[in-house]
Every structure is written in structure tokens, then in C-alpha cells.
Amino acid sequence: MKNRFLANILLTFIWVALTGSFAFANVVFGFFLSYFLLLVITRGSGRARYFRMVPKAISFFFFFLYELVKANLQVAWEMGTPKFYMTPGIVGVPLDIHSDNEITMLANLITLTPGTLSLDVSEDKKVLYVYSMYITNREDFVRGIKQGFEKRIKELYS
């Protein structure tokens, strides 16, 4: 119920942003529109706690930006130099997080970071298979992910 309401509010906000008008009528319209759409499509999903999320999300965003730029530079180096220095491979990263949302977020963030790519999640949602360009050894790589993205995601969703 609450989730649905939140989703409704969120969609209303998106609507307002899209149309670029904060006029009362537009807000009301956006609200009813998203209410109607949710009514059509809702099946119960997610259990995000939006209010606590916000500050963590902001810090998370900057962390991500940092990783993004860092990795991009690394790839740029790889591209710009004639020789290949990479040591690619697929690593199964055991997961501590279990909800679909969390896993998806982790996987996407990994993918968005240059040099790595989430290939699949095991059926039991325990292992995330990641492809990476630079694997020195398995433990370091797994730790890097668990300490970085996974930890922050866990905090975000807690």
C-alpha cells in the first residue's frame, strides 16, 4: 500500500518534470494519471524505503561517479596504447544481498563501470557472474566488489 503510494508520488513527480509545469492542475492530473496507470499494471513489487534512502543515495551517486571516471580513464589508457595489458576473465562473485532490486542495482553498476560486465546471476541468486578486463586474482576482485558497490547498496536498502 505504502509502496504503491510512493510509486504514485514518484510517477507524479516524473510527470511534472516531463511536462515542465508545476501548476496545480498538472500535478493533480499527473497524480491521477499515475494512479490510473498503476491501477492497470500493479502486481506488487519492490519494498524501497524512499525517505531514508535519499541521503545515502546522494553519497552513493558520487561514489559511483568516481568509480565511473576512474574506470573510464583506465579503459582510455588501454585503448590509447598499442599493446593490450588486460587479463580478462569471468568471476563468480558470491552475493550477500538477496532482493531482486539490490542484485539488479549491483549488477547494473558493475556493468556501467568500464572494464566489467555482469553476465548472469545464478538461479538461487547467490552468485553474480562478472566479466572483467583486469583480474589479477579472484579474491582481490571479489573483495573489490563486495567492499565497494555491494556494501553501499546494502546500506542503501537497509
Partner 1 sequence: MISITVAVLASLGSLFILLAAVGILRMPDTYLRMAVTTKAATLGIGLILIAAAVYFHDLSTTTRVVAIIVFILLTAPVGAHLIGKASYIAGNKLWERSVMDDLKGKYRKTGRKVGAPRNMKESSDEDAG
Partner 2 sequence: MKTIILRTASNYMLPLLLVFSVFILLRGHYLPGGGFVGGLIASIAFVLHAFANGLEDTKNLIKFHPGFLMPAGLGISFFSGLVPVLFTDKSFLTGTWYPHHLPVIGSLGTALFFDIGVYLVVVGVTLTIIFTISEST
Strands 116-121 and 127-132: antiparallel
Specify whether the CB–CB gap between 87 and 42 falls below 8 A.
no
Site membership for partner 2, residue 153 (CB under 8 A):
no
Site membership for partner 2, residue 38 (CB under 8 A):
yes
Q: Taking the complex as a whole, how short is the minimal distance between the CB of residue 17 and partner 2, in angstroms?
A: 10
Using the contact rule CB under 8 A, the part of the chain among 27-35, 52-60, 67-75, 140-148 near partner 2 is: 27-35
DSSP 6-31: HHHHHHHHHHHHHHT---HHHHHHHH
Q: Which three cell numbers stand for residue 134?
A: 583486469
Q: Which does 1 bind (CB under 5 to 8 A by kind): Na ion, partner 1, partner 2, none?
A: none
Site membership for partner 2, residue 96 (CB under 8 A):
no
Site membership for Na ion, residue 67 (CB under 5 A):
no
Alpha helices in 20-135 (DSSP H): 24-41, 50-80, 100-112
Site membership for partner 2, residue 7 (CB under 8 A):
yes
Site membership for Na ion, residue 71 (CB under 5 A):
no
Q: Which does 62 bind (CB under 5 to 8 A by kind): partner 2, Na ion, partner 1, none?
A: none
